[in-house]
Amino acid sequence: MKKLILALLAVATVGSASAQKNSFLVYGNAGVNWAKTDNGGGSTNEGTDWNITPGVGFQFNNHLTVGLQGGYGSNKSINTAINNKATNTNREWQAGVFFRHTQNLNSTFFFWTQLDLSYVSGKETTETITTAGTTTSVTTVSDMYNGFQGTITPAIGVNVHKGLALNFGIGGLGYRTVSYDKATTTMNNFMVTFGQQFNFGISKNFGCKCGKSRGHQEPGMEHRKHKKMTDEDDE
């Protein structure tokens, strides 16, 4: 009887770990950051940025998910000095594909690494306000850019309820190349953000067998019912 119980628990555990197979994954990440530095003498630096990055994909098996991802973000920095104020605003959107490899640690925690390949496009605007005596002049310069970006991001996921999970990350690796329209400039950047940022997201698998049955039942309840009927039959 003990062997039967252990076997049933093993089946229930495997069922929980592989419940997301052949399901649709929908996720969304969001981030906001604000910082201000007082340099003294009336000089300050202030920066605000935020972004949202949703995605949807199909999980072919217990490990591989492929889908579409995108995002939109804004970055604004203000540098203030005596008689001078410069505001730089950057708005950007991106769209592309992603490949995610997931490794279950147990029925609650899992580890995943995602590769994002994206087309990016944005606009940078710099406004400079200069005051000389009683005269104030405003200069505005803007330029468009576009290019490509690839990032690799590892994260830890926590299953909280029937396909719903919370995701936590601390950065990743990336490469980016963009070209500007007016300025004949191409920028190539290799990005390492481990320990420099904190990411939080929510994901949901639709179509998985995460406790999906008649009425309100948890994974493994069918096994427990079968076990009870077997015991009664033995009596």
DSSP secondary structure letters along 126-192: EEEEEEETTEEEEEEEEEEEEEEEEEEEEEEEEEEETTEEEEEE---EEEEEEEESSS--EEEEEEE
**pLDDT per position as a tens digit, 72-94:** 999 999 999 988 999 999 999 99
List Cβ neighbours of 203 (8 Å cut-off, separation of 6 or more).
25, 26, 27, 28, 157, 164, 165, 167
pLDDT means over runs of 10, the chain (235 residues): 37 38 88 85 89 93 94 94 92 97 92 96 95 89 96 93 87 94 89 78 79 40 44 48
Task: Give the pLDDT confidence score for residue 1 in this predicted structure.
Answer: 43
Q: How far apart are alpha carbons 115 and 105 in whole angstroms?
A: 20
Task: Give the pLDDT confidence score for residue 19 in this predicted structure.
Answer: 42
Task: Give the pLDDT confidence score for residue 9 in this predicted structure.
Answer: 34
Task: Give the pLDDT confidence score for residue 193 in this predicted structure.
Answer: 81
What the block records as the tokens of 187 is: 């920028």
- Give the pTM: 0.71
- Of 79, 60, 57, 77, which is closest to residue 69 (Cα–Cα)? 57
Q: Please report the domains of the chain, with CATH numbers, ordered by start residue.
A: 28-75+87-123+141-234 (2.40.160)
Task: Give the pLDDT confidence score for residue 6 in this predicted structure.
Answer: 37
Q: Which amino acid is at 14?
A: V
Task: Give the pLDDT confidence score for residue 166 in this predicted structure.
Answer: 92
- Of 98, 15, 89, which is closest to residue 56 (Cα–Cα)? 98
Task: Give the pLDDT confidence score for residue 198 in this predicted structure.
Answer: 74
List Cβ neighbours of 229 (8 Å cut-off, separation of 6 or more).
none
- 38, 40, 44, 50 alpha-carbon torsion, rounded to 10°: -10
Task: Give the pLDDT confidence score for residue 20 in this predicted structure.
Answer: 65
Q: How many residues does the chain have?
A: 235
List Cβ neighbours of 50 (8 Å cut-off, separation of 6 or more).
30, 31, 32, 33, 73, 74
